Amino acid sequence: MKKLTIRDVDLQGKTLIMRVDFNVPIDKETGKVADDTRIKAALPTIEHAVKNGAKVILLSHLGRPKGNVDPKYSLKPVAERLNEISGLNVEFLPEVVGDNVVRAVQNMKPSEVILLENTRFHPGETKNDPELAQAWAGLADIHVNDAFGTAHRAHASNVGIANFIPSVAGFLMEKEIEFLGKVTYEPDHPYVVVLGGVKVSDKIGVITHLLEKADKVLIGGAMMFTFLKAKGYQVGSSLVEEDKIELAKSILNKASEKKVDFILPVDTVIAQKIESGVEKKVVEIEDGIPEGWMGLDIGPKTVELFSEALRSAKTVVWNGPMGVFEIDDFSQGTKSIAEAIANLSATTVIGGGDSAAAVSKFGLKSSYSHVSTGGGASLEFLEGKELPGIRSIADKKKHVG
Ligand code: ADP
Ligand code: MG
């Protein structure tokens, strides 16, 4: 990796200001953390710092309090959960910056951890206010960035601080850069890109960039119907982006110019409503979908076709479910493709919030090389964009600490 990581730094006695992703759901009734996956995911970097004698100041946002102090977005329950699930003794400080924060940091001893209040309680956070960034930077020697999910945003806590003190990647950030970097820039071949989800328009940047690298592109999800309509098939009442049909045609042309095997479904599971328990049938794409019916999953022949196309892959990236996987009646296509990819001996990477949720739902997460935690950030990475929250991390040639 070209970026410096926390492994490259001598941590003993240093003060770290660490941007983590504690943006977790809070149960409205109990006020407690409803899902601590992200807290657990952040532990290895925090524990590494503590074990090596650093003082650690933790920063995170939670929700969208829009620059105001709003108790329902407080990080206090996060501190409580962090203390419960780790051997750490984390002190929660209900302020974002200011004299109390400065004093508390001055009194810290090596291996102590403080969590400050929600960074977005301060209006300067999302504006990348240099004064706020400098105030945070002034507390520490080194900035550690372990919040990939916000890497597509230039905020004070991830990007701003790096203008004043050196920034290095935490373990989560390192893994994101390593795997997303591989599938975006230097995949091993054959390279198969699997795309689904709702809209062609959301994924156009990803398709365009990955057409340059891929050997095969498999299209499922609702977006398949925009392509199928572009090819002249009857798609009934399926979701179609009418204003993207021309774009779909030009993508199909580009794929054939680049000799990329662009594979569309040959059958689909249709129903009249997006509801569980309704009448459903499988139809061949060639026969068309009747009016009033919509395609909600890929069919069994398509599962076969896609599984065969995946078989020899050395690299696979998957973004976007193959169907309405949230409803069991329409989840089989997504599940089968999730399994087919999980069983490959290839570098397998998932990007996208709903695709990651699907893989977790099917219990397959550990069978993938990497499941990205970033929704928007992983899409922008796959588009080949340089993310501000990664650009700000120091390059390897620089010595830090
Ligand atoms: P990701 O978050 O992985 O990038 P998207 O947000 O693009 O994925 O799409 C996920 C959504 O797409 C899911 O909620 C799923 O129900 C929906 N979806 C997939 N296939 C269809 C379809 N054929 N018709 C309607 N919605 C679909
Ligand atoms: Mg989504």
- Gap between the Cα atoms of 207 and 194, Å rounded: 10
Quick one: which ligand is closest to 269's CA? 1
Q: Is 311 a catalytic residue?
A: no
What pLDDT score does 353 carry? 86
The verdict on the CB of residue 237 being under 6 Å from ligand 1 is no
Identify the residue whose tokens are 């492994």.
7
Please give the pLDDT value at position 399: 66
Q: Is the CB of residue 321 below 6 angstroms from any atom belonging to ligand 1?
A: yes
SS3 395: strand
| Residues found in the chain | 401
pLDDT in tens, 176-193: 999 999 999 999 999 999
So what's the pLDDT on residue 400? 67
Q: What does the alpha-carbon distance between residue 295 and residue 236 come to, in Å, rounded to a whole number?
A: 8
Rounded to a whole number of angstroms, the CA Rg of the chain reads: 23
CA atoms of 133 and 138, how far apart (whole Å)? 9
Cβ of residue 372 lying under 6 Å from some atom of ligand 1: no
Given a contact cutoff of 8 angstroms between Cβ atoms, the answer to whether 225 and 239 are in contact is: yes
Contact 382, 202 (CB under 8 A): no
Find the 323 Cα to ligand 2 centroid distance in Å. 12
Ligand closest to the CA atom of residue 298 = 1
Looking at residue 247, its pLDDT comes to 95
Protein residues placing their CB within 5 Å of the ion ligand 2: 353-354
Q: What is the pLDDT of residue 398?
A: 65
- Residue 159 structure tokens: 């990007």
For the chain, list the domains and their CATH numbers.
6-172 (3.40.50.1260), 187-382 (3.40.50.1260)
Active-site entry in 63, 205, 288, 353? 353
Strand-pairing partners, residue 113, are 56, 90
**CA 81 – CA 31 distance, rounded (Å):** 12
Q: Residue 357: CB within 6 Å of ligand 1?
A: no
The 10 Å CB-count burial string (b at 16+, else e) for 296-332 is: bbbbeebbebbbebbeebebbbbbbbbbbbebebbbb
Closest CA to 218 of 316, 123, 152: 316
Q: Kindly give the number of the ligand 1 atom that is closest to the alpha carbon of 225.
A: 23
Q: Ligand 1 pocket check: which of 349, 354, 355 to mutate, most ligand atoms within 8 Å of Cβ?
A: 354
* Identity of residue 77: P
Name the CA dihedral angle for 22, 379, 183, 311, rounded to a multiple of 10 degrees.
Answer: 100
Atom 16 in ligand 1: which residue has the minimum CA distance?
A: 324
Q: How far is the CA of 203 from the centre of ligand 2 (A)?
A: 11
Tell me the CA–centroid distance for residue 86 and ligand 1, in Å. 35
The residue from 127, 199, 314, 385 that is catalytic is 199
pLDDT at 1: 76
Residue 320 annotated to the active site: no
* Separation of alpha carbons 368 and 194, rounded Å: 14
- Nearest residue (by CA) to ligand 1, atom 12, is 197
314 vs 191: CA distance, rounded Å: 6
Token pair recorded at residue 394: 């120091």
With beta carbons less than 8 A apart as the criterion, state whether 136 and 81 touch.
no
Question: 239 in ligand 1 pocket by Cβ < 6 Å?
Answer: yes
In the chain, how many H helices and how many E strands? 13, 15
**Rounded (10°) CA dihedral 116, 119, 122, 124:** 130
* Residue spans of the chain under pLDDT 70: 398-401
Q: Is 277 left (phi over 0), alpha (psi -120 to 50) or beta?
A: left
What separation in Å is there between the alpha carbon of 197 and the centre of ligand 2?
A: 7
**353 catalytic residue (yes or no):** yes
Cα distances (angstroms) measured from residue 197 to each of 141, 225, 321, 400: 43, 11, 5, 42
pLDDT at 223 (0 to 100):
96
147 closest CA partner among 169, 164, 128, 130? 169
- The residue from 3, 14, 19, 38 that is catalytic is 38
Closest CA to 321 of 356, 347, 269: 356
* Ligand 1 within 6 A of CB of 320: yes
Instruction: For tokens 């959301």, name the residue.
Output: 202
In short, whether 195's Cβ falls inside 6 Å of ligand 1 is: no
User: What pLDDT shows up at residue 202?
Assistant: 86
Residue 353, helix vs strand vs coil: helix
Is-catalytic flag, 199? Answer: yes
In three state form, how does the secondary structure of 68-116 look?
CCCHHHCCHHHHHHHHHHCCCCEEEECCCCCHHHHHHHHCCCCCCEEEE
